[in-house]
Structure formats: structure tokens, C-alpha cells
């Protein structure tokens, strides 16, 4: 069949399913892009000689040496925001700054990935509900067709 314009309710449901499937693909694409950027950045850190152990030790030192790590971290985030807003290409040569900014950046990306994964779970749940509703509609339609057949058979028999 080339085109089927018989069932409005089913077509409307199919549109909703396609919209959700599209949103799921877009969300997966966003997650993949974030993961790619994160891995690329981590590779750059490895290229300049920063190890995971250095990052862990740096974080431990940062927390232990700070009187108020939360306020110091907020100040670092604001400093990084200002640096990014300035759009100047200034190389950062201070290893502590590189480690601070890297930790903040990767943590932010991880949080974004988590948010998108939660959104993806919600979209998938909604998609399952709609697919279940589609099955119910199909069962209803099959029942209607079966009832109509029985009715026609009864008419023939009379």
C-alpha cells in the first residue's frame, strides 16, 4: 500500500513515536559529542605529560590546603569563566591552573553527560509507553475486524 489514510488515532500516535525517536537520537548525539570532546581533551592532557595520579594528588592538595575549598572552587570557576569570555588565546603555563581548569571542565562535561542520560531515560520510558499504547490500538483494531467478520458470517448464515 502506498499511503494509508484510514486511522487518524494511529497516525497521530505514530507521529508522537517518531518525534520521541528523533529526540532520543538527538540526545544520544549530544552525549556522543560531549564524550568525544572529553576524550580529546584528556588526550591533550596526556600529550602535555599530565597523569591521572598528578590530578588526584593535586585535588587532594587543593582540598587539604584550602581553608574553604568550596569558595576557592567557586573563585576558580569564575576565573575560568572570565578567561573563556575574554576569548583571548593566552597559553596557560601554570601547571596548577591547568589542573584546576581541567578538573572543572571535565567535571562540567561529566555533569552534562549525566543530565543527558537522565533525559534519555525519560524519553525511552515515554517511548515505551507510546509503543505499548500502539500495541493496544492494534489489538483493538484486530478485535474490531474479527467482530466485523463474525457479524458478516452471521448475516451470510441467515
| CA angle, residues 152, 153, 156, in degrees to nearest 5 | 90
- Give the domain ranges of the chain: 18-126
What three-state secondary structure class fits 105?
helix
Q: Quick check: 32 and 25 in contact, CB under 8 A? A: no
Q: Mind listing the pLDDT tens digit for each residue in 44-103?
A: 888 888 888 888 888 888 888 888 888 888 888 888 788 778 877 777 777 777 888 888
23 CB-contact burial (10 Å; exposed 0-12 / middle 13-18 / buried 19+): middle
- Extract the C-alpha cell encoding 82: 572570565
pLDDT at 114: 95
Give the total residue count for the chain: 158
User: Which residues does 37 contact at the CB level (< 8 Å), separation at least 6?
Assistant: 109
Q: Mind listing the pLDDT tens digit for each residue in 23-58?
A: 999 999 999 999 999 999 889 888 888 888 888 888
- What count of Cα atoms within 13 Å lies in the side-chain half-sphere of residue 145? 6
Whole-model pTM: value is 0.73
Q: What is the C-alpha separation between 11 and 23, in angstroms, rounded?
A: 18
In the chain, alpha helices (H): 8-47, 52-65, 69-86, 95-157
Amino acid at each position: 500500500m502506498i499511503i494509508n489514510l484510514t486511522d487518524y488515532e494511529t497516525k497521530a500516535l505514530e507521529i508522537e513515536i517518531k518525534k520521541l525517536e528523533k529526540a532520543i537520537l538527538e540526545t544520544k548525539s549530544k552525549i556522543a559529542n560531549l564524550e568525544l570532546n572529553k576524550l580529546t581533551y584528556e588526550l591533550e592532557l596526556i600529550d602535555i605529560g599530565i597523569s591521572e595520579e598528578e590530578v588526584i594528588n593535586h585535588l587532594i592538595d587543593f582540598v587539604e590546603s584550602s581553608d574553604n575549598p568550596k569558595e576557592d572552587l567557586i573563585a576558580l570557576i569564575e576565573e575560568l569563566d572570565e578567561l573563556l569570555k575574554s576569548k583571548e588565546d593566552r597559553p596557560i603555563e601554570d601547571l596548577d591552573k591547568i589542573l584546576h581548569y581541567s578538573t572543572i571542565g571535565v567535571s562540567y562535561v561529566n555533569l552534562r553527560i549525566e543530565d543527558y542520560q537522565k533525559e534519555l531515560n525519560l524519553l525511552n520510558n515515554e517511548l515505551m509507553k507510546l509503543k505499548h499504547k500502539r500495541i493496544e490500538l492494534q489489538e483493538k483494531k484486530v478485535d474490531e475486524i474479527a467482530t466485523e467478520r463474525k457479524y458478516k458470517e452471521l448475516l451470510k448464515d441467515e
